[in-house]
Structure 1
């Protein structure tokens, strides 16, 4: 039984890679364009905003929390940039976006840690508040961005497209923070067992608060990269993108129950989701199928995580033998 469980766990842990191989075969047989090197480059560019968003989501999920407000944060920060920060150099605009996005993450973190309200409820409320403010400011109009923002999408850094470079920088920083710093180890400890972490003297509330701020910052960066690609934002901008970010993280091995996962898997999960969307587009699939496929991916990610968690808990459980009678 244990051998079978370990084999199933191995399959579940490598599910994203197995799914990606299936995608390569299926879409490759249906269209030669899917396997073209230029297409894979486009997939990574298109996946960059979601990957950045999912990296921030990873920090929150690792602490057994969730942030549903990132799509609203993207919409509000992009709207503020288009409405009030036109004409200024883009680095200053990006800095302003990061300040606002970080403040939104800080509000989420403060309410969750200070008042003990479930993060699902807090961030769901924040999502509607942020989208409502953005719609009020923009009068629900589509906002266009100036040329200096649009040209960033065509720019390269060391020969690397700007979107890919931005996502690589965020990924590198996140990987170092999670795997090479005391803070990263504390994040895993809090997610694995918050009570044990608290008894060990870890500042649990501050760690959770910091993770929400990181998620907010990543939402700001992801939104900025996104607007350089599309050049405009409307009422539907960022709508439901938080679910794609969560699905990417969970598909990549991050547990919804906290304490397990890595940003490496998250990035692969984001690329996997974009590969599906790209493949459907290449084969000219019915657009009405897209939401069904996205829903199936989310369901699959949650199902894999639940089954994977149960197997790990069963394998880690120790049999307690009763003491022999004296």
Structure 2
């Protein structure tokens, strides 16, 4: 393996080992922020005159996400995790109360290229919150303070956990543990999205359940590592190995889906990766493409057309 490639991943892989040491000696280094999120607020449906509140809301949410340190690891500015938070305000039933949906996306840069791979793509359909202009947003891992900071902190830790999983097998566990605590604390609020609902499985409770609590979907976390670290990152230098490992990642996702079909973690993975897979595998061998398509048709039948195109290449 190229020595620069080796050094790059040794450095990222050491982050988990450094975590405990630096936690014990926090004064040794000054740490930078880890996230670089853009918040976009669509208020077309809000039907209120004072739209300045949404500008303040955007700035407040971005400051909460990007202006604090979520870990004790040191991130260079170019290493910060990029993401988008698209908030659609569906209703304002009374002054200061908002009903919204949220689309969360994060990307992960691919080594040796300018390409950024969509790592997480999730639609949170049920978020109700109260916002007062200029209100400070505080967060406590062990206490539910409000429905804004809890949701933002939840997805911050999901973004961190998945990013770390792409560099090391189960490297993001410490962040998923925090996200799980946030869900457990928020359940006492009775707010939608935090509880074990049978009618709405696309919520925060089921997302962290599939990612962290349930062992059924642990293979998808391993798939994140094979797909990114052993797949996309090696595509320029060892393409045959990379394609084989991308196939291995698809097998791991298919195994979870076979045990429990249509899990939210499975759906989220495919929502992020279906387009990319259908493009990247065009240059793989016919053997790999054939096996991959067979698995993809089982896991993600809604995108059968694009996967079948792989067999025509």
Q: TM-score, normalised by structure 1?
A: 0.26
RCO higher in 1 or 2 (8 Å CA, sep ≥ 6)?
1
Q: TM-score, normalised by structure 2?
A: 0.27
Compare the two structures and name the one with the higher strand fraction. Answer: 2
Compare the two structures and name the one with the higher helix fraction. Answer: 1
